[in-house]
Chains A and B, each alone.
Chain A
């Protein structure tokens, strides 16, 4: 049973967003890390990179597959989780905590309205994401 905390927003492509003022902390959901399996490598953007909502934000390699991670909101990357270089498995172990990927300073916080609540996201998983 995947863990889907309240208080976060979610995308159809299984990213989560934690709103911190005008910033958005972003990671992948428990469902996503479980589907991926053991994460072995991440390609994260650089601080200062600009992204638009829906753009490719990062890539992740697991033992069995690789997946693209999409930007839930537009803005500028202001923080990148560099501890994932040495320990990519943190994404599996703590996807909502230490496994965060990037922090984006949002260009337009109304984009958050496009995202799902925990309940809505939970429903999409049940229906077979």
Chain B
């Protein structure tokens, strides 16, 4: 049932920790990663109830530096980094010329450089897009500054993924636990803020971000120091309970309950940000950026499709690819489906026609179903997030 693991897969710096904890491993984005330890449902509920710890070291980090780094990052991505300052991060999208999404990511402003935290599977594609955009940016910049020939464009792009292991500590007890382990309070860190702390001799960048909808932190640390931090966090007790190690299975079920996009499902080069409901991350009022022309048109005309949330009323679990029927007509497909441990029902995100989405939004009675093999599973529209978000705003 599980695919055989091949020897060429990359390994996380925390690989030995997962094996020692008896993790069931799986392949993801060319990495061998833990799918689960005690079980997806148990890990999922542990995060909502107390605290879980995830290894996200497979994610990539791209550093952008140089004098024109700010202008370049604003050209490359859809959100506006003028809204950032040192110690702040934002969610952003990298689009292509057609307005399709190449990746979704976090941008972290370190003052003298930006770090883009990107999906593991897209690192190579992101770098390729960034280099291509850098060429176009240089042309654009030079032609608008042709009077000042001494001002060569200074933008440097580097893949620094190997420098960072990434741990995510998520749950209502995360602040107390992290403060204990770092021997320094993290309570003053605001949502989407980050700072650098010390864990023993190592620097650890702590950002108040996550992919679960709970309060939590993402911890960037040198791979050599990662195992120590991992173990210290798992050993830390609060309210008589320890931190649960959590795998990719729970990571997915948690983000699904929040309606967060997963690249390759709600986002791809065939899906634009407005279809995915991510218009808030596209700032058309800033200067030129890749995909701007197409995206401005989509915003003006309205997207042709939209992501909606749905909850099954029949027993079952919707899966990616299942067709979705609205009032008897095939209206689109499930982009991500699963079972919500909190709600006890199947839930899904689906990409449907704008007409179907409007019909649903109008709120009148609508017949909604998911076709799975030969079975039609009845569903009802659901607002996203499916369960309340508890991030520390």
State the A residues within 8 Å of B (CB): 35-38, 40-41, 43, 61, 63-67, 89, 92, 128
- The answer on a CB contact under 8 Å between A35 and B40 is no
How far apart are the CA atoms of A128 and B4 in the complex, in Å?
A: 10
B306 — which chain A residues lie within 8 A by C-beta?
Answer: none
Q: Decide yes or no: A37 and B39 within 8 Å by CB, A63-B253, A63-B339, A65-B1 being known contacts.
A: yes
Contact of A61 among B40, B42, B317 (CB under 8 A): B317
Q: What would 19 more interface pairs be, CB under 8 Å, given A64-B40, A89-B41? A: A35-B1, A36-B1, A38-B41, A38-B42, A40-B41, A40-B339, A41-B315, A41-B346, A43-B315, A43-B316, A61-B316, A61-B317, A61-B339, A61-B346, A63-B253, A63-B317, A65-B1, A66-B319, A92-B39
Is residue B249 within 8 Å, beta carbon to beta carbon, of the partner chain? yes
How far apart are the CA atoms of A89 and B315 in the complex, in Å?
A: 14
Total interface residues on B, using CB and 8 Å?
Answer: 19
Q: Decide yes or no: A64 and B316 within 8 Å by CB, A37-B36, A38-B40, A38-B41 being known contacts.
A: no
How far apart are the CA atoms of A10 and B136 in the complex, in Å?
A: 64
- The answer on a CB contact under 8 Å between B317 and A35 is no
How far apart are the CA atoms of A35 and B1 in the complex, in Å?
A: 7
Q: How far is the CB of B355 from chain A (nearest CB, A)?
A: 31
Interface positions of B from 81 to 117, Cβ below 8 Å from A: none
How far apart are the CA atoms of A63 and B251 in the complex, in Å?
A: 12
- The answer on a CB contact under 8 Å between B249 and A63 is yes
How far apart are the CA atoms of A67 and B317 in the complex, in Å?
A: 12
Is residue B2 within 8 Å, beta carbon to beta carbon, of the partner chain? yes
Name the residue in B315, B319, B346 with the highest tally of chain A Cβ atoms < 10 Å from its Cβ. Answer: B315
Q: How far is the CB of B125 from chain A (nearest CB, A)?
A: 26
Name the residue in A40, A61, A92 with the highest tally of chain B Cβ atoms < 10 Å from its Cβ. Answer: A40
How far apart are the CA atoms of A92 and B339 in the complex, in Å?
A: 16
Contact of A37 among B40, B315, B341, B346 (CB under 8 A): B40
Closest to A40 in B: B339
Is residue B13 within 8 Å, beta carbon to beta carbon, of the partner chain? no
- The answer on a CB contact under 8 Å between A66 and B317 is yes
B42 — which chain A residues lie within 8 A by C-beta?
Answer: 38
Interface positions of B from 300 to 348, Cβ below 8 Å from A: 315-317, 319, 338-339, 341, 346
Q: How far is the CB of B376 from chain A (nearest CB, A)?
A: 13
- The answer on a CB contact under 8 Å between A41 and B317 is yes
Q: How far is the CB of B58 from chain A (nearest CB, A)?
A: 18
Q: Decide yes or no: A40 and B39 within 8 Å by CB, A35-B1, A64-B249, A65-B1 being known contacts.
A: no
Closest to A65 in B: B1
Closest to B339 in A: A40
How far apart are the CA atoms of A63 and B249 in the complex, in Å?
A: 8
Q: How far is the CB of B115 from chain A (nearest CB, A)?
A: 32
5 closest residue pairs by CB, A with B: A38-B41, A63-B40, A61-B317, A40-B339, A35-B1
How far apart are the CA atoms of A88 and B84 in the complex, in Å?
A: 48
Closest to B42 in A: A38
B339 — which chain A residues lie within 8 A by C-beta?
Answer: 40-41, 61, 63
How far apart are the CA atoms of A29 and B339 in the complex, in Å?
A: 23
Q: List 25 A-B contacts (CB under 8 A).
A: A36-B1, A37-B36, A37-B39, A37-B40, A37-B249, A38-B39, A38-B40, A40-B317, A41-B316, A43-B315, A43-B316, A61-B316, A61-B317, A61-B346, A63-B40, A63-B41, A63-B249, A63-B317, A63-B339, A63-B341, A64-B40, A64-B249, A65-B1, A89-B41, A92-B39
